Amino acid sequence: MGKVRLGLIGLGLMGTPHARTLIKVPECDLVAASDVDEKQKAVTEELGIKFYRRYEEMIEKENLQGVILAVPNHLHVSIGIACAQQGLHLFVEKPIAQSVSEADRLIEAAKKNKVRILVGHQRRFSSLVEKAREIVAGGELGRLVGVTVTWALLKPGPYFEGPLSWRKDKGGGPILINLIHEIDNLRYICGEIDQVFALTSNKVRNFHVEDTASIALRFKNGALGTIFLSDCAPSLTSWEGTTGENPLLYHDFGNCYNFFGTDGSLLFPQMKRLYYSDPAKAGWNYPITEQGYKMVREDPYIKEFSHFCRVVSGKEESRTSGEDGRRTLEVTLAIQRSGETGQPIVL
Amino acid sequence: MGKVRLGLIGMGMIGKLHAETMSKMKDLEFVAASDVEAKHQKTAEELRTKFYQSYEEMISKEKLDGVVVAVPNELHLPVGSACAKKGLHLLMEKPIAADLESADRLIQAAKENKVHLMVGHHRRHNPLIEELRNIVRGGKIGKLVGVTVLWALYKPKDYFQGPFTWRAAIGGGPIRINLIHEIDNIRYICGDVTRLYAEVSNEARQFPVEDTVSISLRLAGGAVANIFLTDTAPGNIGYEANTGENLFFYHSPETCYYYFGTEGMITFPQMKKFFYRDPGKAGWQFPLCEEGIKIDREDPYTRQIRNFCGVIQGSETPKIDGVDARKTLEVTLAIQKSGETGQPVVF
Ligand SMILES: NC(=O)c1ccc[n+]([C@@H]2O[C@H](COP(=O)([O-])OP(=O)(O)OC[C@H]3O[C@@H](n4cnc5c(N)ncnc54)[C@H](O)[C@@H]3O)[C@@H](O)[C@H]2O)c1
Ligand SMILES: NC(=O)c1ccc[n+]([C@@H]2O[C@H](COP(=O)([O-])OP(=O)(O)OC[C@H]3O[C@@H](n4cnc5c(N)ncnc54)[C@H](O)[C@@H]3O)[C@@H](O)[C@H]2O)c1
């Protein structure tokens, strides 16, 4: 079977690097890309693919099998439905939609037109996350009792300026933009989250949107979680600051997650597992054994797009289905609502 | 005034440590010690101090200035009040008393009898904690944004067996015994707690008492804090293990607290400060500068007794008095309550 014929919609901050990645993926045949902004044509010329200003024209003419949607959030559902109606499988950048009911509409349309959805939570393709999931879900830590997440960093001044000033308003902050990745990671590694509570604050930047949050979680399997989130704290204790998976950001070698189970704990992304090797000498007064894992680092985007091709050709189940992307959104929105109401939310 | 004359009541786990500490200090006279268990006479002899099985006899026969009270929590009120009536200054082990009403009565007894009441939250006497307080309160990391506290140490099986089965019952768990120290540290370093929410679980050990807690706190200045605590996961992160303050606990060089400010982050107990030196290069894409803070270590238990002597002599104020310790107990009990009711608690 040949390569999978794909089109890309949206050549902005995310779409442009996606185009560059897609042409490197052996299973992909990136035929064309579209953006309402004529300026983005340049990159398609450089990559030797066709350019369309109107995506409608592209999906009609190009005999595609799937599309990658990297348009602004409010267009995910309308463009997604239009593509689904043409029988195209969908790669939708995160978040799947802006609300749970909108996500439902997209999921429904995909079902009706028998197309599959992969939501762009690329961290699920990080080899670190895959390994952590294998360790936690595989029971190497025993029964999971809890997980802690720290995401503390300083977004620089220009991040909020000029055309980007929407980031100062509700919905433009670290809960909807950044935390959603942490939530998806936790759900993927630890299981379903069914209760959330958040204390949020905007006291540092004094924007409408939150700059800091402290979150308490409960998982369906009984484990508890805490998340500390801040985008106004000079720190490297975050996914970006420790994993190095975002090449544009600085990173060092700390840990951003800790997983705790009855048989051991895992410090992430240092990938150190701690446990007592002798059950007769298990306890806070005994030396603890440390085990490392040898990690091979691969580009998660390449893995994600290869996977998408296999989803399109029916060889694999979507790793992040529409329902999955919807649930990650639902939990994230619940955290935001809890921050507003001051009350815990049961999902 | 001559040397301060001190007595000790209760020679169990922590009482013995106080006995050893006092016997080594030259600027005080460790006059006598008491325990209902006759077997402790041996320790008294070794430390060259008089022994009484009845503390009532000790406080009426010996001319003392103050007593260190290290009996079980339910006895703090009766023993403390009896000593106050004799005009003896009090260093009560933590918690101040078993419940808030008893705490109020003990505070009242001290007031009526014009004696000082100090409480044994010894960590306040650790130079590392003092320095952290100075850094935070002195604005050396700017405005406080948030704090994360992690305590994940594994209590061995025998911790809950034999005479210690009460530790598996309600009230004998990590909230009252361990978490209270974390709460006192946060209060001492940052100020008061204004709101909190806790998820509490006993699912791992299946004892009546909790084994895992996840907490979100809001602090008076607007910062938020997270605490995650578990005593059932093999791990090496927690104040006792990381500070090396008490070498009964296996020492691991991990970080148990992160203090985040607008101008920098402190890791504890490493006492390293991370910050951006150049405001033009502040943000997630830039490297952070690292600076060590030098602190002379000193045994907190010795400093605590020294503070007590100073208080008795009128040259010092207590690092933590009855009212302050009552507040720490109140917040700690509120965590338990929030876990039971599933509701936030507002102070
Ligand atoms: N997975 C991640 O880590 C990650 C990171 C950043 C952004 N994203 C997501 O990617 C999506 C795009 O974000 P971005 O930062 O690239 O935004 P952007 O504004 O930089 O790019 C969006 C592009 O879509 C184009 N566009 C708008 N309407 C169009 C239409 N009808 N047809 C064709 N093109 C159209 C715009 O001209 C623009 O070039 C968002 O959903 C965002 O949440 C994901
Ligand atoms: N600051 C800390 O880190 C710390 C650590 C451990 C304990 N504590 C506190 O210290 C207190 C004692 O705890 P512990 O772990 O040492 O308990 P423990 O049971 O080991 O010791 C208590 C001792 O008091 C004695 N005692 C009981 N009734 C007495 C009486 N009427 N007169 C004289 N002696 C009496 C008991 O025989 C026993 O030896 C508790 O309040 C506890 O919360 C504080």
- Neighboring chain B residues of A199 at a CB cutoff of 8 Å: 195, 197, 216-218, 224
pLDDT digits 0-9 by tens, A75-107: 999 999 999 999 999 999 999 999 999 999 999
Query: Where do the CATH 3.40.50.720 domains begin and end in chain B?
Result: 4-115
- Neighboring chain A residues of B258 at a CB cutoff of 8 Å: 150, 152, 228, 235, 237
Residue A282 scores a pLDDT above 60? yes
pLDDT at A104: 98
* Tokens coding B2: 């001559």
- In this structure, the residues whose C-beta lies within 6 A of any atom of ligand 1 are A 9-15, 34-37, 40, 55, 70-73, 75, 93-94, 120, 122
**Radius of gyration of chain B measured on its C-alpha atoms:** 21
Q: Which ligand is nearest to the CA of A92?
A: 1
pLDDT digits 0-9 by tens, A20-66: 999 999 999 999 999 999 999 999 999 999 999 999 999 999 999 99
Query: Where do the CATH 3.30.360.10 domains begin and end in chain B?
Result: 124-298+329-346
Shortest CB distance from A262 goes to which of B218, B233, B240? B233
- Neighboring chain A residues of B201 at a CB cutoff of 8 Å: 145, 218, 222-224
Q: pTM higher than 0.90 for the full model?
A: yes
> What is the DSSP code string of A294-330?
------HHHHHHHHHHHHHTTSS--SS-HHHHHHHHH
The C-alpha of A5 sits at a distance from chain B's nearest C-alpha, in angstroms, of 36
Which 8-state DSSP code applies to residue A3? Answer: P
* Tokens coding B29: 């006279």
* Tokens coding A43: 């990159």
Residue A93 alpha carbon to ligand 1 centre in Å:
8
Say which amino acid occupies A315.
K
| Contact between B80 and B104 (Cβ < 8 Å) | no
Instruction: Kindly give the residue spans of alpha helices, DSSP state H, lying in chain B.
Output: 13-24, 41-46, 55-61, 76-85, 100-112, 127-137, 174, 180-190, 239-243, 300-313, 322-341
Choice from A14, A77, A155 to test ligand 1 binding pocket (greatest atom count within 8 A of CB):
A14
The C-alpha of A126 sits at a distance from chain B's nearest C-alpha, in angstroms, of 20
Task: Check if the interface score ipTM surpasses 0.85.
Answer: yes
pLDDT digits 0-9 by tens, B204-225: 999 999 999 999 999 999 999 9
Q: At what angle do helices B13-24 and B300-313 cross, to 10 degrees?
A: 70
pLDDT band at B1 (very low <50, low <70, confident <90, very high): low
pLDDT at A170: 83
Tell me whether residues A258 and B152 touch, CB distance under 8 A.
yes
**What CATH class does B4-115 carry?**
alpha beta
Tell me whether residues B214 and A217 touch, CB distance under 8 A.
yes
Judged by a CB distance cut-off of 8 A, whether residue B342 touches chain A is: yes
Rounded Cα distance between B101 and B107, Å, is 10
CATH of the domain spanning B124-298+329-346? 3.30.360.10
Residue B2 scores a pLDDT above 90? no
All domains in chain A, ordered by first residue:
4-115 (3.40.50.720), 124-300+330-346 (3.30.360.10)
Compute, in degrees rounded to 10, the torsion defined by CA atoms B193, B293, B246, B144.
10
Nearest residue on chain B to A206, alpha-carbon basis: B222
Residue B14 alpha carbon to ligand 2 centre in Å:
6
Tabulate helix, strand, coil % of chain A (nearest 5): 40, 25, 35
Residue A68 alpha carbon to ligand 1 centre in Å:
11
B window 256-275, beta carbon within 8 A of A: 258, 260-265, 274-275
pLDDT band at A194 (very low <50, low <70, confident <90, very high): very high
Rounded Cα distance between B124 and B127, Å, is 8
- Neighboring chain B residues of A274 at a CB cutoff of 8 Å: 234-236
